[in-house]
Amino acid sequence: MTFDVLISALWVVLQPQVLIVVLLASVYGLFIGAIPGLSATMATALLIPLTFYMDPVPAIAAIVATTAMAITAGDIPGALLRIPGTPASAAYVEEAYALNMKGKAQLAMGLGIVFSAAGGLFGALVLLVSAPLLARASLNFSSFEFFWLALLGLLTSALVSTNAPARGLFSLCLGLLISTVGLDVTSGQPRFTFGVIDLYGGVSFIPTMIGMFAFAELLRGLSSAASVPPVPAKESVFSNSFAGVWGAFRRYPWSFLRGSTLGSSIGALPGVGGDLAAWIAYGMSRRFSKTPEKFGTGHEEGLIEASSSNNAGLSSAWVPALVFGIPGDAVTAIAIGVLFMKGLNPGPKLFVENPTMLTAVILTFALANLFLIPIGFLAIKGARYVLAVPRGLIVPTILVFCVVGSFAINNTVFDIAIMLVAGLVAYLMEANRFPIAPVILGLVLGPVLERNFIMSMQIADGNLLGFFSRPVAAGLGILVCAIIVIPILRSLATRLRRPLS
């Protein structure tokens, strides 16, 4: 990429039309993301009809800005109501909520917004500078590596989210089981559909997430078990929306760098996407922390690392999407469709044929993340009003959005039923100390895991040692085995030591 191309691309991005689109898309993303249960993917999907009327750069800018803002705004209900806006923010929702319960809601949201923006800028830089290198490395990956990566993410979520591994593992298995419902992609055989036509396409992810995280949470809130977060005083909490953020950065600079680097690396892997990054980042932060016991009690360290990785992964998920046309996640899959509609086929040729346009698309990531700070500031200010609204008004309002949000995915009331069942199941699970987040991750990554598992089994002809036949796969495999074996050995060692003491 030459300097001239960069300047031309910058000129394209700074056009008033693009700036206005980014601003409006950010506000829209904020609106959708801040409403519990409405996800960034849904916001993006619903935006697509509008992008028909736009040029390629503003169209992609709108998608990028909406996604970045919706994901970041998803941290707000996460911190205030313990309802994550996205699967990625589910990784650290407990931590953010615990900070809120300590009366530090502003710090939780401020950390989320600033480190999301900083991580997003980091990811944009990675995308701009080293996209071809990262994509080339991930291109060499086979189903073995993808299988291990998916399993690593799933196990991390199951083990990080609870102190009871059996419960975490069961939640994960439930998510994997739900992901198998519907027609099997490879064989076309129906699985667990019980003759219900609406299930042939599988269990919709977004209604399930709305049910498990929003509806169940609201039910829990109606019982005596709910602890209502303290409503902080305006002066003490919302006087400076970003107070304490700089101090947190100075205390944990490595968390930011590690999270951003990890997010960029994982997000760039085709088919993996950015969601996994936040889970692994949170798990890694806990592992490397000097104070792991503080995790889950409202500790800033994990929040910084996961927030940074979240948006860094979001940007770098576009590396394989733009360079090779392989989507990293649902949002990039939608965006690739938009590029095709505009007559632009993502791939290496596009870098040669239209480098200015492609560079401009990449620069919109930086722009969208820069917009996060002022709009995020307004979001935090607005969040105060959410806390001030009587609970009797806000709970039914959220329930109405749960219903309409579930309906809007496939325009069918069947998805409302999925939301209801998922909500009731999640309520019972949580009451019995089963973590919910692994269910969602199992549901999202289940197809990735299964596809790569079956493919790897066929390649290795059923020989499990084949999963370790490639160097990177062997490294990842050993890491996964260590994650499984080390806690078991620790538990055994503790039991053996106990009688002696």
Partner 1 sequence: MTFDERILGLALVLFGIAVAWQSQAIPSVPGATFGPSLMPTIVGLLMAGCGLSIFIGGVRAADGGPLVDISVWRGHRRGLACAVWAVAGVLVGILFMPVLSFPLFGVSYALPLMLLMRARPLPAVIVSLVVVLVAYFAFKRLLYVPLPSGPLTFLG
- What residues make contact with partner 1 under the rule CB under 8 A? 46, 49, 166-167, 169-170, 173-174, 176-177, 180, 184, 186-187, 189, 191-192, 215, 218-219, 222-225, 390-393, 395-397, 399-401, 403-404, 407-408, 411, 413, 416-417, 419-420, 424, 428, 431-432, 449-450, 453-454, 457-458, 461-462
Give the nearest distance from C-beta 177 to partner 1 in angstroms: 5
- Beta-carbon contacts of residue 68 (< 8 Å; ≥ 6 apart): 26, 29, 116, 120, 311, 314, 365, 368, 369, 372
CA atoms within 13 A on the CB side of 397: 9
SS3 state at 92: coil
For residue 322, CA distances in Å to 3, 14, 100, 318 come to: 20, 21, 39, 6
Minimum distance of partner 1 from residue 53's CB (angstroms): 13
| Of 323 and 383, CB closest to partner 1 | 383
Work out how close the CB of 367 gets to partner 1 at its nearest, in angstroms, rounded to a whole number. 24
Q: Alpha carbon of 404 to those of 31, 209, 215, 366, 412: distances in Å?
A: 15, 14, 13, 33, 10
Task: Determine which helix (DSSP H) or strand (DSSP E) holds 182, and give its type and residue range.
Answer: strand 182-183
Please give the structure tokens belonging to residue 44. Answer: 């993006």
Least spacing, CB of residue 100 vs partner 1, in Å = 21
Tell me, what amino acid is at 26?
Answer: S
Taking the least distance from each CB to partner 1, the nearer of 77 and 119 is 77
What are the residues facing 52 on neighbouring strands? none
How far CA 292 is from CA of 240, 310, 472, in Å, comes to: 29, 21, 28
- Considering the complex, state which of residue 400 and residue 500 has its C-beta at the smaller distance from partner 1: 400
**Identity of the residue, 333 or 420, whose beta carbon is nearer to partner 1 in the bound complex:** 420
At its nearest, how many Å lie between partner 1 and the CB of residue 454? 5
- Whether the CB-CB separation of 358 and 351 falls below 8 Å is answered with yes
Task: Tell me how far apart the 2 most distant CA atoms of the chain are, in Å.
Answer: 74
Whichever of 175 and 270 has its CB closer to partner 1, that residue is 175
Residue 398 CA: distances (Å) to CA of 67, 77, 101, 210, 418: 21, 11, 21, 10, 17
Beta carbon of residue 176, minimum distance to partner 1 (angstroms, whole number): 5
Our CB check for partner 1 shows the closer of 122 and 401 to be 401
**Least Cβ distance, residue 231 to partner 1 (angstroms):** 16
Q: Which residues pair with 190 in a beta bridge?
A: 183
Pick the closer one to partner 1 by CB: 367 or 429: 429
Of 2 and 223, the one with the shorter C-beta distance to partner 1 is: 223
The enclosing H or E element of 190 equals: strand 190-191
CB nearer partner 1, residue 7 or residue 341:
341
Closest approach, Cβ 308 to partner 1, in A, equals: 31
Helical pair 165-180 and 143-160, crossing angle rounded to 10 deg: 130
Spatial separation of the C-alpha atoms in residues 152 and 174, rounded to whole Å: 17
Of 247 and 382, nearer to partner 1 (C-beta) is 382
Residue 386 C-beta: closest distance to partner 1, Å: 13
Q: Which is nearer to partner 1, 192 or 200 (CB)?
A: 192
Q: C-beta of 473: minimal distance to partner 1 in Å?
A: 18
Nearer to partner 1, 297 or 458 (CB): 458
Question: Measured from the CB of residue 267, what is the shortest distance to partner 1 in angstroms?
Answer: 26
408/413 Cα distance (integer angstroms): 9
Cβ distance 211 to 478 under 8 Å? no
Distance between CA 157 and CA 38 in Å, rounded? 22
Report the 10 Å Cβ neighbour count for 91. Answer: 34
- Give the dihedral of Cα atoms 447, 453, 455, 458; nearest 10 deg: -150
User: How many of the other CB atoms lie within 10 Å of CB of 183?
Assistant: 15
Minimum Å gap between C-beta 272 and partner 1 is: 19
